[in-house]
Amino acid sequence: MRRPQKTKTLPAVEIIRRGKTIKTRITTDADNNANARAWGKIREVDSVRRGPEANDTCEGGDPDAETLCPYAEDRMKVELVSITPKAEKIMAYCARVSSPHQDNPEYAGLLKYCADHGHWSVFEMADATFEIVTSRAIAQQLLRHKSFSFQEFSQRYAEVMKYEAYAPRRQDDKNRQNSIDDLPKEIQRWWYAEQDETWRKAKWVYDIALERGVAKECARMILPLNTQTRLYMKGSIRSWIHYLDVRCGADTQLEHREIALAIRTLLAAELPTLAEAFEWV
């Protein structure tokens, strides 16, 4: 079992527990409006009428503006929807199936023992479900975790409304699946502007296609990978332990890692013994 990566930075994910936002780095509407004003030059651009060559320089916006992303469309969100009540107690109760003391109220030592010795089936006795809002690019990675059950927003049934703006990072020369967060601000501003323009152009064509009677399942083919989606991901605690082990690691794409860290925060609050055993906190 890999040790989880510790992080001090707040994830760029809204984390919701029992209906309450417990952590967020999302800007407020007031911030967004101020950012948009600072970036008036780009906001006023009618992207749909501009040719692809029009924005091939890194110009745009107020170079002194602190915020690199003026658009602040919705960001990622993670909410704990449900978890087996008294999950740790239930797992310990089931683990003691062969013991005459199944109701023993002390279970921390037992669960830690099971964690240390790979007694995994114990952790299949409880489940948790999360609602995750993210891009289609990251949803595709989430859906690969085959031991989970999923329910995802249908782009065939409902209209797509939003996209998520993401910061650009530099391609790592040595590791093709890694990126480094040291790009100059001009490139970052240019990238945010391009994301917005690309989205608006795609959404414009998408909306016209729907108006002209094209089916949603066909019209969506024009949409970029940063189109926002929403899904429910349900799995046993065993699956979540494995998922966190893989997706909190530095090998995982940052945006996905931020989701995994948000899930870890929420699970740690529900499963304090396992949080200690697996060093989630």
Point out the residues that are catalytic: 247
Q: Is residue 239 part of the contact set for ligand FAD (CB under 6 A)?
A: yes
The C-alpha atoms of residue 241 and residue 256 are separated, in whole angstroms, by: 16
CB 249 to ligand FAD: min, Å = 7
How is residue 8 written in tokens? 């001090």
User: Is residue 220 a contact partner of residue 205, using CB atoms and an 8 Å limit?
Assistant: no
| 183 CB neighbour count, 10 Å cutoff | 17
The C-alpha atoms of residue 3 and residue 248 are separated, in whole angstroms, by: 9
CB 144 to ligand FAD: min, Å = 4
Q: How many residues bind ligand FAD (CB under 6 A)?
A: 15
Among 75, 136, 238, 257, binds ligand FAD (CB under 6 A): 238
Q: Is residue 263 part of the contact set for ligand FAD (CB under 6 A)?
A: no
Of all residues in the shown chain, the one whose CB is closest to ligand FAD is 147
Q: Which is nearer to ligand FAD, 206 or 280 (CB)?
A: 280
Rounded to the nearest 5°, which phi and psi values hold at 232? Answer: -105, 135
The C-alpha atoms of residue 104 and residue 124 are separated, in whole angstroms, by: 20
Q: Of 85-93, 129-137, 232-240, 261-269, which segment contacts ligand FAD by CB under 6 A?
A: 232-240
Instruction: Kindly write out the interface string for residues 25-64 of this chain, putting x where it contacts ligand FAD by CB under 6 A and - elsewhere.
Output: ----------------------------------------
Q: What angle do CA 234, 134, 21 make, to 5 degrees?
A: 80
The C-alpha atoms of residue 192 and residue 165 are separated, in whole angstroms, by: 7
* Rg (alpha carbons) of the chain, rounded to whole number: 22
Q: Is residue 251 part of the contact set for ligand FAD (CB under 6 A)?
A: yes
CB 275 to ligand FAD: min, Å = 18
- Residues in 123-182 at the binding interface with ligand FAD, rule: CB under 6 A: 124, 144-148, 177
DSSP bridge pairs for 79: 16, 131
Chain contacts with ligand FAD (rule: CB under 6 A) = 124, 144-148, 177, 236, 238-239, 242-243, 246, 251-252
